[in-house]
Structure 1
Amino acid sequence: MVYTPRISYFIIEAVHDFLTYKLGAPAIREILAMGILPPARALSIEFLAPMVWDDVISIEVASKELTTTSFTFLVEARNSSNEMTFRSTLTQVSISPESKRPIPLPHALREALSPS
């Protein structure tokens, strides 16, 4: 079985790849260049089917919710039989590097994560 905390790494890496795709450049660099820090506020994981280390999974990420100061992703993983192995949400907050307080999402980030 896959050790439960390892799943959080899968989720975060998948979200970074999704953001890189949406922003058109390396995600973390782009977000920092927007003048914000994006710490996680919440991470939830629902385990739906067992996974072992040699399982091949595909992970899909979607923008789930945008608020004034936060952005949430839906992350779903499926095994090679198309059975969902886990479902997760990750919420990050737009934080000012100076004050360490929430600030509105930058327009470019909001635009990239808004539904087309």
Structure 2
Amino acid sequence: MKQPSQPSAADLSLVDVLGALADPTRLALVARLANLGSQKCADINNDAEVHKSTMSHHYRVLRQAGLTTTTIRGRERWIDLRRADLDERFPGVIDSVLNSWNTSPQ
């Protein structure tokens, strides 16, 4: 099966990354991936309080912005945070955003 397309590390844009993180659901997904590591979409969907199609939209926005990578393994889709690429391209940005989000009331 063909893997979903995503930008290369060199093509990551700070505007796209911050735009994707502006949504609270996507920010929560990134925080979850930062804390727990690679996750199956099905596991995240079961814990989410939004519809499956809405979650698919959020996954796509995060992937297209370069925040995550999606890997298809058999019938499962796994989501990973592209932490190394993001830290290399925009040092400290993800930590700053997540620290700010973790200390603010939700």
TM-score by length of structure 1 reads: 0.26
TM-score by length of structure 2 reads: 0.27
Q: Which has the larger radius of gyration?
A: 1
Which gives a bigger RCO, structure 1 or 2 (Cα 8 Å, sep 6+)? 2
